[in-house]
Copies of this chain bind each other. A is one copy, B any other.
């Protein structure tokens, strides 16, 4: 601990950063910015969106919620190669994490949704995912008094619209950020937040060129790039070409965030790699055309693990109960021989 010899010295120290004074000041000139804790959000809207995010009744089976594939207990992802959807159909691509997704230039690997709100409507109506339709999902929401009153309070309209449903879910997702990672503590001025190995990894991450795509607060998410810039990457996915129909966009994907990367295995749009070490080597080979030494790889992996921040923390939500008029679409052999007892 330094000792202050004069008033002037004290003032100097006060401007030096958080390790001495608690005052946060980002390091200048770094290509990665710290994640900021959510502030000033619409509390009632976020609470409504949280319930909808966890509600399996937005799916045809009443068994799949947003959280099924973007599990907030496991880094906002489901840790599957690709997600299991309606009727146990396997999704075509790895589910990206919802954590810090607000920083993405667009949503989905191919960027086909311009923002979180537009994204939220996709899986509900995707026959391979939640297998529902917006109309039927709205019928369900409208039949639940606990939702009706919340929507009315937040949006002030009589009927609930899909626009409101996705707006509320997006508002909740906007709060799903992960501040306070060791790397962010370092960015904010705490020299002791990173080990020498982690810091060397960050230097390598910049020097080798990873940072060209993986930058900004989410360490990615800000641009589209070809998977296999230098060396072709074998994949059947067509990428952003599906959206733009521009041949140059074949196998072009949104650069994924590296925030919480330790938690969001398996990696890449095809979910083919489970090891962070291997993922780093593949990126170096296919995107940069280099081979990392074992030490360089180790240090970069150590750095990447410093990107794990505080996970969203809130009480398990309680979902408003259905009513007798809430539609259900499950069809199965019942233990009851006759249909007479089933009310719907």
Interface residues of A (CB under 8 A from B): 54, 56, 61-63, 68, 71-75, 78-82, 84, 87-88, 90, 92-93, 234-237, 262-263, 265, 269-275, 278, 282, 311-319, 321-322, 324, 328, 330, 332-338, 341-344
Contact = CB atoms under 8 A, between A and B. Distances in A.
Given A316-B316, A318-B73, A80 B282 contact: no
Contact of A335 (B87, B265, B269, B311): B269
A314 B311 contact: no
B338 A234 contact: yes
B90 A275 contact: no
B262 A341 contact: no
A73 B146 CA distance: 14
Contact of A334 (B272, B278, B341): B272
The 5 A-B residue pairs with the shortest CB-CB distance in the complex, in nearest-first order: A270-B335, A88-B88, A272-B336, A90-B332, A272-B341
B74 A342 contact: no
A336 B269 CA distance: 10
A333 B265 contact: no
A331 B274 CA distance: 15
Contacts of A332: 81-82, 90
A227 to B, nearest CB: 10
A92 B335 contact: yes
